[in-house]
Amino acid sequence: MSNETVGDGQAAGTRDTRRFVWLFDPRLVMTALGSIAVVVLAGLVQVSFGSYSMSVGQAWSAVVNPDVLLNQQAWNSFLLGGELPEMGRKSLIVWSIRLPRVFVAIIVGMNLAISGAIFQAITRNELASPFILGVSSGAGLMILVVLVAIPSFVLAVPFLALTGTQGGLLGGGATLVWLFGVAGAWWYGVERRQLRAIGLVGAVLLGGAFVAVPGISLPVGVGELSFAVSTLLPVIAALGGIAAFLVVYAIAWKNGTSPVRLVLAGVIVGTVFKSLQTALFFFADDLGVVQEALAWTTGSLTGTDWEQVRMALPWSVIAVVLAIAGARQCNVMLLGEQTAKSLGMSIEKVRFALSGVAVLAAAASIAVAGIVGFVGLIVPHMVRNLVGSDYKKVIVGCLFVGPALMVAADVGARLGMGVITGSDLQIPVGVVTGLVGGPYFLYLMRKKQEMGEI
């Protein structure tokens, strides 16, 4: 790049004017290709091994099986949830059990990576992760509330819940929290006009989460909507995360906000919610429930299916598109608040919008995989190291490196215990991302002087 610029001088512009020319930066291309190679290799391992063992060749031929690959009905079933067509046993195992898990890992890796990258830009904080603004603690709390405190769901109006015969105490408590939540958030909104909408949405979400109260028999005339916990948990976890983020933003707001205020508010809300979450563990009387809660709060891909792909994909597509579109805003934001302002950026609007995108991505990944730590923190740093600090490249790089780390870590999560102890036990992928990512992060830190600088 430097050569051509020097040669051309300052005459008619030295830049290639084509819009996406930056995509062909060799460093970015190499990063993408390397990551794809990792994803393919790890994916191949994932589809080959397991309780039904097949050779790599068999697995590969099942993956590229044209009967499935080119079958419209099959894709219809995968992506839209239709009827699954007839296929061979190997193809069935690969395509309906093992591959979707790889796809979910790819989606989750992308989401967490771009979410972390965005949060690092808007907080200008090297330690920012997708969960810095309370998303994980809100989601974690809701997961615990649902799994431990609420055995079955009835969607009800909270005021009516008070008259219920069962679960009176919890119902009453939830109603009080909801009322205070509405009042508090509304008060915030009235005080700070710009935040009125945020306050209200926060109140509704916070309230909505508590609207569901345990098995109450309702007065006659009110329809009951019952859901199985498992179908609603992902959505509730994601909504809990989003609600916590809104609460954090409302707390941090005082005539506008600042990175430091946001991070502090995130830490405060996170601490409170974490405490509540830990407290709830004591009320769990079933080891199975505790394990399920742990799997959710450390992040696990066990048992993920095409359904998870269907659930996360639309939101992820939206988040990815918006993240790429917002990359230039991130770049300007990195020049500091004052410069961004003097360049005409409406900094509060942009910051909130970008946070929204990042939270959306994080929530989508929480809904399908729980709270997978570390990926969102470390991947943006790895990418910056590989492609430089231009956020357009960082975001695109994250779309490749995130999945690579996630898919590779999931190999360890799914098969690691089998290799070590010979058991079929799967461990949460969040454990492996920490175990793999931590040392790698350390290695980068030792090797690179300016590691961590944004």
Q: Which is nearer to another protein, 89 or 349 (CB)?
A: 349
Whichever of 89 and 328 has its CB closer to another protein, that residue is 328
Assess 447 for contact with another protein (CB under 8 A). no
Binding segment toward another protein, per CB under 8 A, in 10-18, 195-203, 373-381, 404-412: 10-18
* φ, ψ dihedrals at 213, nearest 5°: -125, 155
Give, in degrees to the nearest 5, the angle at Cα 115 between 110 and 120.
130
> Can residue 450 be called a binding residue for another protein (CB under 8 A)?
yes
- In the complex with another protein, which residue's Cβ is closer, 424 or 453? 453
**Count, residues near another protein per rule CB under 8 A:** 36
Interaction mask 228-257, another protein, x per CB under 8 A: ---------------------------x--
Minimum CB separation from another protein for residue 100, in Å?
A: 34
Q: How far apart are the first and last CA of the chain?
A: 23
Question: Given candidates 55, 72, 338, 421, which one binds another protein under the rule CB under 8 A?
Answer: 338
Q: Does residue 13 interact with another protein by CB under 8 A?
A: yes
Quote the tokens at residue 157.
Answer: 């109006």
| Closer residue to another protein (CB): 392 or 414 | 392
Binding mask 293-332 for another protein (x = CB under 8 A): --------------------------------x--x--xx
Q: Phi/psi at 445 (nearest 5 deg)? A: -65, -40
Please tell me whether residue 51 binds another protein under the rule CB under 8 A. no
User: In whole angstroms, how close is the CB of 344 to another protein at the nearest point?
Assistant: 3
Residue 193 binds another protein, judged by CB under 8 A: no
CA distance 258 to 285: 43
**How many alpha carbons fall within 13 Å on the CB side of residue 253?**
23
Strand order in the sheet with 225-227: 212-214, 153-155, 225-227
The least CB distance from residue 132 to another protein, in Å, is 19
Closest to another protein by CB, 21 vs 36, is 21
Query: Residue 105 CA to chain centroid, in angstroms?
Result: 11
Whose structure tokens read 């410069």? 339
Nearest Cα to Cα of residue 374 among 340, 409, 344: 409
342 binds another protein (CB under 8 A): yes
Q: Which is nearer to another protein, 96 or 331 (CB)?
A: 331
In this structure, the number of other CB atoms found within 10 A of the CB of residue 260 comes to 12
User: Could you say whether residue 165 binds another protein (CB under 8 A)?
Assistant: no
**88-96, 194-202, 333-341, 426-434 -> range binding another protein (CB under 8 A):** 333-341
Coil, strand or helix: which one is 212?
Answer: strand
- Using the rule CB under 8 A, which residue among 33, 283, 339, 448 binds another protein? 339
How many whole angstroms separate alpha carbon 216 and alpha carbon 214? 6
- Selected from 82, 151, 219, 336, the binder of another protein by CB under 8 A is 336
The answer to whether 260 contacts another protein (rule: CB under 8 A) is no
Most distant CA pair in the chain, distance: 83
> How many Cα atoms sit within 13 Å of 130 on the Cβ side?
35
Query: What residue ranges in 135-179 does DSSP mark as E strands?
Result: 153-155
> Contacts with another protein in 375-394 (CB under 8 A)?
384, 388-390
Beta-ladder partners of 213: 154
Compute the least distance from the CB of residue 28 to another protein, in Å.
Answer: 14
Per CB under 8 A, does 17 bind another protein? yes
Token readout for 291 is 């394990």
Contact 359, 133 (CB under 8 A): yes
Residue 91 CA to its chain's centroid (Å): 30
Q: Is 225 helix (H, G, I), strand (E, B) or coil?
A: strand
Q: Can you give the binding site for another protein, defined by CB under 8 A?
A: 1-2, 5-6, 9-15, 17, 19, 255, 325, 328, 331-332, 334-336, 338-339, 341-346, 384, 388-390, 450, 453-454
